[in-house]
């Protein structure tokens, strides 16, 4: 039933009926499977993918690399959990490689994000250093191409002509 | 003023242009059109295949290939075909790489048909068999397949059309435009007639990887006694979404392939080199791509068949290719009127069944090689259209 997840991740608004037809299942089977996924936490929600640039000019996003000192027994969990409490923070990942936590932050301006990093993140006890990278253009997000000029039109052409 | 037509080959002048075309032209001039009329994959060629083609260009491998195609490609084709369809062909003498399946069809018909020979052509089917037969001065004999037989060729219908002049049977399955497939038992029934009347067969299996039933495609050459009587035509266009690369192949007994190769040599020289490098990669590492695309087509197929049936456009369950062939008889329109009114009223392009033979009248061909989003939207529009007429 991973196909069901593929279909939903592409378009969560498809009806159970449509999904059932495509997957050759009954509507009941599909509905049960979906609620099982929800219960197990496989499906974490159904959100619109919004291109905020279109809604509000005053938007900025940054990817912040954090080096942190892990706590004995708790490792990185404690600091990660602290950081994810900030409403400005969109995502928090523990990374392999040259730094520890990757944090994406959204704000009204680069200025606002810079202040957030300086006043909220940097002072946290276990944070050693930060590096802030601002997003300039978002081409593709969660598998969806955002720039309409890049969006694929049907470029297939008529084959038959005299 | 020169009267060009009077100076030209009469057969060429008499050839009719394909009926698929007109609706493309109308569609091209409109905005917001959803075209379910295009007979090619909406996928691009898998990236690793494209990359191999690019690399061959980067390395400057831009020369001719041998007439029959690169040996490495012929070997891969031979292995691929044996793996999937259990028939062995000698890459040296029984495989010919062509410019698309289309060239292979032409070579085969021209190599086999003498003036006056009768060629049996099941219809509805792709548009090229009749003109190619006529250009070879053969006589096309149409066998009409029917919705109640799931558009399969039956042994009885075949037997009925055989005369002492019958030379060749064309077997276009999985079928464009109906989506019909011939299962093993149906092929076996046909094979008995072929044997009895000592016919040769051109089996156009270009959609062979796109079947959706429980049993996969069976090549006609796999049926007992048929390998020696059959030219199999296949290619890369549909299986690997490589239509623009123009690459196909013919498989058959070496005596037939040798004659076809002469024609190919003089008319074409050799198939495109870049495409052949890419095709080697497709044959070696393309199974996952095939399965992915087939899975996607299958979901779309279910969606569109269910949608059309529930709005009263009856379609039998197509088991192959990427077409459905619903009956529009209930609307009282001809297939051409239906398509024309649909595109003007709702900007959805489909192809009249009559373009694929007279017995296609009363049906339209709907291609589901399009995104789920477009298919859903097109279904809504067709439903509205039906309520308005």
A92-118, pLDDT tens digit by residue?
Answer: 999 999 999 999 999 999 999 999 999
What integer pLDDT is reported at residue B213 of this predicted model? 86
Residues of chain A with a CB closer than 8 angstroms to some CB in chain B: 3, 7, 10-11, 14, 18, 21-24, 154, 156, 158-162
Q: Which residue has the higher pLDDT, A158 or B308?
A: B308
Return all residues near B34 (Cβ < 8 A) that are at least 6 apart.
B347, B348, B349, B370, B374, B377, B378, B381
Residue of B nearest to A4 (CA): B299
Please give the Cα distance from B127 to B271 (Å, whole number): 23
**pLDDT beyond 60 at A151:** no
What integer pLDDT is reported at residue A152 of this predicted model? 58
What integer pLDDT is reported at residue B29 of this predicted model? 80
Q: Which of A74-78, B218-222, B249-253 has the lowest mean pLDDT?
A: A74-78
On average, the pLDDT of chain A sits at: 89
**pLDDT beyond 80 at B246:** yes
On average, the pLDDT of chain B sits at: 95
Interchain CB contact of B146 with A (< 8 Å): no
Structural domains in chain A (count): 2
**φ, ψ for residue B167 (rounded to 5)?**
-110, -45
**pLDDT beyond 90 at A154:** no
| Contact between residue B362 and residue B328 where contact means Cβ atoms under 8 Å apart | yes
Structure tokens at A52: 């905020």
Please give the Cα distance from B220 to B187 (Å, whole number): 7
Q: Which of residues 335-374 of B touch A (CB under 8 A)?
A: 370, 372-373
Is residue A158 one of the residues assigned to a domain? Answer: no
Tell me how far apart the terminal alpha carbons of chain A are, to the nearest angstrom: 47
Interchain CB contact of B40 with A (< 8 Å): yes
Contacts of B20 in chain A (CB under 8 A): 159-160
Three-class secondary structure assignment of chain A: CHHHHHHHHHCCCCCHHHHHHHHCCCHHHHHHHHHHHHHHCCCCCCCCCCCHHHHCCCCEEEEEEEEECCECCCECHHHHHHHHCCCCEEEEEECCCCCCEEEEEEECCHHHHHHHHHHHHCCCCCEEEEEEEECCCCCEECCEECCCCCCCCCCCCCCCCC
Regarding beta strands B351-352 and B364-367, do their DSSP bridges make them parallel or antiparallel, or are they unpaired? antiparallel
**pLDDT beyond 70 at B311:** yes
Give yes or no: residues A84 and A33 share one domain.
no
Tell me whether domains B4-45+288-388 and B47-285 share a fold. no
Chain A, chain B: beta-carbon pairs less than 8 Å apart: 45
Give yes or no: residues A102 and A65 share one domain.
yes
**pLDDT beyond 60 at A78:** yes
Give yes or no: residues A132 and A99 share one domain.
yes
Interchain CB contact of B16 with A (< 8 Å): no
Give the CATH number, domain containing residue A103: 3.30.70.920
Question: With bands split at pLDDT 50, 70 and 90, how would you rate the model's confidence at A53?
Answer: confident
Q: Which of B35, B42, B302 has the CB atom closest to A21's CB atom? A: B302
**B21 and A24 in contact by Cβ < 8 A?**
no
Question: With bands split at pLDDT 50, 70 and 90, how would you rate the model's confidence at B352?
Answer: very high
Q: Which helix (H) or strand (E) holds B141?
A: strand B139-144
**pLDDT beyond 80 at B170:** yes
**B20 and A160 in contact by Cβ < 8 A?**
yes
| Residue of B299, B304, B372, B373 to mutate for A, most A C-beta atoms under 10 A | B299
Mean pLDDT for the stretch of residues A67-84: 92
| Residue of A10, A30, A159 to mutate for B, most B C-beta atoms under 10 A | A159
**pLDDT beyond 50 at B355:** yes
**A10 and B300 in contact by Cβ < 8 A?**
no
Percent residues over pLDDT 70 in chain B? 99
**B299 and A7 in contact by Cβ < 8 A?**
yes
**A159 and B42 in contact by Cβ < 8 A?**
no
Q: Which of B28, B42, B370 has the CB atom closest to A158's CB atom? A: B28
Please give the Cα distance from B89 to B75 (Å, whole number): 9
Contacts of B42 in chain A (CB under 8 A): 154, 156
What integer pLDDT is reported at residue A160 of this predicted model? 65
Please state which CATH class domain B47-285 belongs to: alpha beta
Interchain CB contact of B295 with A (< 8 Å): yes
| Contact between residue B100 and residue B235 where contact means Cβ atoms under 8 Å apart | yes
Mean pLDDT for the stretch of residues B288-314: 96
**pLDDT beyond 70 at A149:** no
**B39 and A159 in contact by Cβ < 8 A?**
yes
What integer pLDDT is reported at residue B25 of this predicted model? 73
Give yes or no: residues A29 and A71 share one domain.
no
| Contact between residue B322 and residue B308 where contact means Cβ atoms under 8 Å apart | no
**A24 and B302 in contact by Cβ < 8 A?**
yes
| Contact between residue B352 and residue B19 where contact means Cβ atoms under 8 Å apart | yes
Regarding beta strands B34-35 and B230-235, do their DSSP bridges make them parallel or antiparallel, or are they unpaired? unpaired
What integer pLDDT is reported at residue B54 of this predicted model? 98
| Residue of B16, B19, B24, B380 to mutate for A, most A C-beta atoms under 10 A | B24
**B303 and A162 in contact by Cβ < 8 A?**
no
Give yes or no: residues A89 and A119 share one domain.
yes
Is residue A154 one of the residues assigned to a domain? Answer: no
Q: What sign has the CA pseudo-torsion A42, A44, A48, A50?
A: negative
Structure tokens at B104: 């292979």
Please give the Cα distance from A145 to A138 (Å, whole number): 9
**pLDDT beyond 50 at B192:** yes
What domain range is A13 assigned to? 2-40
Is residue A10 one of the residues assigned to a domain? Answer: yes
Peptide bond into B174 cis (omega under 30): yes
Give yes or no: residues A114 and A56 share one domain.
yes
Q: How many CB atoms lie within 10 A of CB B155?
A: 16
**φ, ψ for residue B295 (rounded to 5)?**
-60, -40
Q: Which residue has the higher pLDDT, B136 or A141?
A: B136
Please give the Cα distance from B347 to B27 (Å, whole number): 7
Give yes or no: residues A56 and A135 share one domain.
yes
Percent residues over pLDDT 90 in chain B? 91
**A23 and B372 in contact by Cβ < 8 A?**
no
Give yes or no: residues A60 and A31 share one domain.
no
Is residue A162 one of the residues assigned to a domain? Answer: no
Regarding beta strands B118-123 and B166-171, do their DSSP bridges make them parallel or antiparallel, or are they unpaired? parallel
What integer pLDDT is reported at residue B267 of this predicted model? 95
**A158 and B24 in contact by Cβ < 8 A?**
yes
Is residue A146 one of the residues assigned to a domain? Answer: no
**pLDDT beyond 90 at B369:** yes
Please give the Cα distance from B236 to B103 (Å, whole number): 13
Give yes or no: residues A35 and A56 share one domain.
no
**pLDDT beyond 90 at A150:** no
Contacts of A3 in chain B (CB under 8 A): 295, 299
Interchain CB contact of B319 with A (< 8 Å): no
**φ, ψ for residue B54 (rounded to 5)?**
-60, -45
Helix (H, G, I), strand (E, B) or coil at B41: coil
Please give the Cα distance from B281 to B56 (Å, whole number): 11
Give yes or no: residues A136 and A56 share one domain.
yes
Contacts of A162 in chain B (CB under 8 A): 17, 21
What integer pLDDT is reported at residue B19 of this predicted model? 65
What single-letter DSSP state applies at residue B220? G
**pLDDT beyond 60 at B356:** yes
Is residue A148 one of the residues assigned to a domain? Answer: no
Give yes or no: residues A28 and A83 share one domain.
no
**B21 and A22 in contact by Cβ < 8 A?**
no
Domain range summary for chain B, segments of one domain joined by +: 4-45+288-388, 47-285
Give yes or no: residues A24 and A76 share one domain.
no
Mean pLDDT for the stretch of residues B55-78: 97
Pick the CATH number of B4-45+288-388 from 3.90.1150.10, 3.30.420.40, 3.40.50.720, 3.40.190.10: 3.90.1150.10
Contacts of B306 in chain A (CB under 8 A): 21
**φ, ψ for residue B242 (rounded to 5)?**
-125, 35
What integer pLDDT is reported at residue A162 of this predicted model? 47
**pLDDT beyond 50 at B215:** yes
């Amino acid at each position: 039933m991973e196909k069901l997840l593929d279909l939903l991740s592409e378009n969560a608004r498809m009806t159970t009926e449509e999904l059932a037809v495509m997957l050759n299942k009954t509507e009941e089977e599909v509905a049960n499977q979906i609620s099982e996924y929800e219960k197990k936490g496989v499906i974490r929600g159904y959100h619109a993918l919004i291109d905020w640039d279109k809604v509000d000019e005053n938007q900025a996003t940054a990817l912040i690399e954090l080096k942190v000192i892990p706590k004995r027994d708790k490792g990185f969990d404690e600091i990660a959990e602290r950081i994810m409490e900030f409403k400005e923070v969109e995502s928090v990942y523990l990374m392999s490689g040259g730094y520890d936590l990757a944090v994406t932050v959204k704000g009204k301006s680069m200025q606002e994000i810079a202040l957030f990093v300086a006043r909220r993140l940097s002072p946290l006890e276990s944070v050693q250093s930060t590096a802030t990278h601002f997003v300039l253009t978002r081409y593709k997000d969660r598998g969806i191409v955002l720039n309409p000029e890049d969006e694929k039109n049907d470029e297939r052409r008529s084959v038959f002509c005299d | 003023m020169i009267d060009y037509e009077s100076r030209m080959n009469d057969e060429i002048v008499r050839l009719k242009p394909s009926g698929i075309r007109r609706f493309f032209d109308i569609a091209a001039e409109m905005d917001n059109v959803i075209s379910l009329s295009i007979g090619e994959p909406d996928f691009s060629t898998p990236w690793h295949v494209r990359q191999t083609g690019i690399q061959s260009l980067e390395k400057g491998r831009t020369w001719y290939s041998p007439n029959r195609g690169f040996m490495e490609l012929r070997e891969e084709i031979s292995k691929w075909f044996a793996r999937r369809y259990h028939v062995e062909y000698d890459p040296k003498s029984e495989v010919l790489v062509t410019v698309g399946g289309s060239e292979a069809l032409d070579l085969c018909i021209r190599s086999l048909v003498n003036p006056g020979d009768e060629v049996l052509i099941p219809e509805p089917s792709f548009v090229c068999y009749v003109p190619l037969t006529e250009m070879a001065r053969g006589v096309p004999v149409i066998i009409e397949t029917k919705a109640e037989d799931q558009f399969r060729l039956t042994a009885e219908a075949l037997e009925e059309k055989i005369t002492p002049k019958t030379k060749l049977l064309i077997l276009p399955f999985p079928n464009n435009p109906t989506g019909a497939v011939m299962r093993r038992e149906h092929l076996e029934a046909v094979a008995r007639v072929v044997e009895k009347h000592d016919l040769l067969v051109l089996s156009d299996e270009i959609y062979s990887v796109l079947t959706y039933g429980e049993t996969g495609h069976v090549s006609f050459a796999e049926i007992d006694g048929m390998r020696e009587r059959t030219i199999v035509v296949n290619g890369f266009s549909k299986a690997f979404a490589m239509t623009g690369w123009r690459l196909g192949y013919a498989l058959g007994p070496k005596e037939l392939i040798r004659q076809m190769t002469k024609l190919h040599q003089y008319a074409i020289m050799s198939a495109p080199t870049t495409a052949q490098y890419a095709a080697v990669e497709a044959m070696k590492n393309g199974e996952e791509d095939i399965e992915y695309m087939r899975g996607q087509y299958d979901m779309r197929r279910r969606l569109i068949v269910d949608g059309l049936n529930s709005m009263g456009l009856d379609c039998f369950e197509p088991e192959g290719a990427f077409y459905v062939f619903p009956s529009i008889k209930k609307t009282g329109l001809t297939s051409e009127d239906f398509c024309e009114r649909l595109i003007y009223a709702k900007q959805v392009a489909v192809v009249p069944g009559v373009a694929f033979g007279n017995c296609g009248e009363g049906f339209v061909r709907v291609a589901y090689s399009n995104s789920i989003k477009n298919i859903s939207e097109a279904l809504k529009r067709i439903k509205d259209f039906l309520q308005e007429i």
